[in-house]
Structure 1
Amino acid sequence: MASSLYTVITLLWTLQDGGTLHVYNDRLIKIAFANEEINAICKTNVMYKPDYTKFILSYYRIDSESKEITVMQSLQSVEIPPGRENKSETLNYPFKIKPSMHSSVSGTYYCKALWILKNQVRRGNGTFILFREKGYTEPPLTMWMCLITITIILTVASIMGTVLLFWKREWRQIKKCPAQRPAPPHTSGSSEPPEPSYVELGPREPDVYFAINKSTGSPLHKKVPAVKVSQQKMQEITDVYENNTADLYENI
């Protein structure tokens, strides 16, 4: 009789203080990459009573030796809304677990709530997380900045090198082919244009003519520089040549 009464009292005390406290995991199975951040949600059924306003919410796993390995832990505080005293409500508490926290170990992860004042613990049903091989890792921003800087430097250097190459080529051409001096203007009073260069290739006097002129003391025995002559001068030279030839025959 006494034991039955004790059981009833214990049951009533449990229903009064902690019978409505529950903790749930958001999923049963989850797949993630080893280098990814895990988003977990712990659903906790809390009671709006002064003794249940503060509790410690933990996210942990069980290792091969059945030991609890705490991954993340936080202290939660609940404010009692007006008119909600002695009532319960389910609240969601998200967790963002970094790779350095979960160590990419596949296994079952649990949510756990510990009400400090009542020293009561509730656990969730657990979520099995399977970690796969590492996926693509986004390079850091500093690496992108270094690549952009190197690309800009190489582009500027290429442009400057091309400009310098063209400048050197033009400078060499200028040194090899200096500017020619302008031809002196035609100072003759006549309006006749200068004779073409092929006039210089006109017929020359025979050697006999030069020998006779040399013996008679003609000033034509001296060698004179070749100059450009006009057609009229050429005709005069021809007439002189014919007269001298006639004199030569008469003398003979």
Structure 2
Amino acid sequence: MPDEGDDRWDVFGADLAAPFLNNLNRQVSALDLQSELSLSRSQFELLRKDGYFSPTLSAAGHKPLWDIAQARSFINGLLRGAETVLIPRQQWVDLAKASQRSKIRPGQIVELIAEGRLTRIGKLESKNDYASILVHFEELESLLDRPDAPGMTIDAFARSVGLKPPQAGRLIKKGHTPATFARNPKTLAQQHYMQEKDVVAFKEHFVTLRELAILLGQSWQSLNATLRKSQVTAFSPDGLDYGLLYEWAALEENDIVRQPHRIKGSSHS
């Protein structure tokens, strides 16, 4: 030990000092943390404003450091119970896109996950970082305090009946089925919605292959074969793609269904 007045040294046993020294070895800079977690700088800064990813070592005159093991544990907690998603499609979106589309901060979405209020969490296959966290956008939107929409969006309607959104949109734009033009309460833009009266009108005239298969208790493959054998073709009076969509009149004319099915089909949802 140095004499009094000199810089003093404290000596610790190796076993006692090991946890502290190991912890120091896991400390990384902000840039290294973002790289390790596939976390963009903008997302990192937004999350920090909401109280996430605070540095574990921070002092005046010294660069702040983060415990990488602690950060990874946090990410693993958000991914607990997540379902594996091979390719994110339709409603599966990462936190950055979900934040942008819903116009809320990513920290608010993280809070919903941590509280267990968002239940449909996905994870990109073979990934285990921030960018791999996916949320189901429709579930997220349903949890947010939004003004009531004037009806179903065309995307939501299309998926509900078994069409692709562009096919349903084309059907409406060409005037083959009605829709309601109204203001989006979130973006304030005018767009088409399917109100109940529009859905009823659609189902009174049309049925998709998926819904008809459910109605008749058949697989869509066997039903498709029956339709081809009977030479019943999908609706396309102008040669455009409207999906596997059929008119009730054509189905009745070819004895695929009879009148009671049509009535049931028009109210089937």
Instruction: Tell me whether the two structures share a fold, i.e. TM-score over 0.5.
Output: no
* Bigger relative CO (Cα 8 Å, ≥ 6 apart): 1
Larger radius of gyration: 1
Please state which structure has a larger fraction of its residues in helix: 2
Query: Which TM bucket (shorter chain)?
Result: under 0.3
Please state which structure has a larger fraction of its residues in strand: 1
